[in-house]
Amino acid sequence: MPRDRESDVIVKLDGVTIGYDENKPLATIPSLLIKKGEILAIAGPSGIGKSTLLKTIAGLVSPLQGAVQVCGEILPKRPFRGDLGYIPQRLGLIRHASVMHNVLIGSRASMCGPMQFFTPKEAKESAKNAICQMGLEQKMWDPVKRLSGGQQRRVATARTLAQAPKVILADEFLSELDDETMSHVAETVVRYARENNAAVILVEHDVSRARELADRLVVMDDGRLNPFISSTKTLEVKI
Ligand SMILES: Nc1ncnc2c1ncn2[C@@H]1O[C@H](COP(=O)(O)OP(=O)(O)O)[C@@H](O)[C@H]1O
Ligand SMILES: [Mg+2]
């Protein structure tokens, strides 16, 4: 298999140790490269550090050691606002505000900075599209606190899609969804990634679902990130 072209790599972890306390590191990732358009799933038991890994890539938790590079910027320098979309496990929604308001926050992220990617009208349009893609058009003006757990999770997904990110970090974004909704939400995010050459790193506790969704699956186990090669897809894992 040809070597990855450096320009195709959008997330790069090099000798990264994650955790909150230097004396109690959670996991070490010797090397992990994620290419544009690639969907990578991270699985592993509860409490192993999957969310911490995503937060580290998102720049919300500093690595204990090593370098994290996202969209060409090495932390603590952050990527251009809007380029990195994060769907947290604890959704971080404004509960009393409407679905539209919450999702607009995502599309406004892409209005910031020198590019002025969206005009205010486009931001609203982008938010509306994302809400409709998540099947929440009937709930657009409802306060988030009146929505079910699964609907709130879809609001957080819409908020990220509305910002048109180059990298999506999705932490258990399919939890609390019924089978039909789950397939629809998963397909929408995968289609977004394919059409926009965006990378997705998703945390999924269900290994068979992770394997179905992703091009590549890594399993966190005993504080290390171990490659797990899916039998259905040809994968290159560099660990
Ligand atoms: N802010 C924090 N400060 C200290 N420890 C934390 C913090 N957040 C999570 N932890 C601990 O880090 C470990 C890994 O947590 P987490 O990354 O949420 O695991 P997972 O997502 O795999 O279930 C757990 O033992 C958890 O209690
Ligand atoms: Mg977690």
pLDDT tens per residue, range 147-184: 999 999 999 999 999 999 999 999 999 999 999 999 99
User: What ranges do the domains of the chain cover?
Assistant: 1-79+166-239, 94-162
Whole-number Å distance, alpha carbon 49 to ligand 2 midpoint, is 7
Q: Using a 6 Å cutoff on CB, does residue 160 contact ligand 1?
A: no
Instruction: Report pTM.
Output: 0.91
Top pLDDT among 14 and 111 is at 14
Q: Residue 223: what pLDDT?
A: 64
More confident residue, 103 or 3: 103
117-122: long-range contacts at Cβ-Cβ below 8 A with a sequence spacing of 24 or more?
117/82, 117/164, 118/164
Q: Give mean pLDDT, residues 136-145.
A: 98
| Residue 51 Cβ contacting ligand 1 at under 6 Å | yes
Please write the tens of the pLDDT for every residue from 227-236: 554 333 433 3
pLDDT at 115: 56
| 1-79+166-239 is classed CATH 3.40.50.300 | yes
Average pLDDT estimate for 201-211: 90
Is the C-beta atom of 48 inside 6 A of ligand 1? yes
Q: Are 158 and 103 in contact (CB under 8 A)?
A: yes
pLDDT, average across residues 90-104:
96
Q: How confident is the model at residue 106 (pLDDT cuts 50, 70, 90)?
A: confident
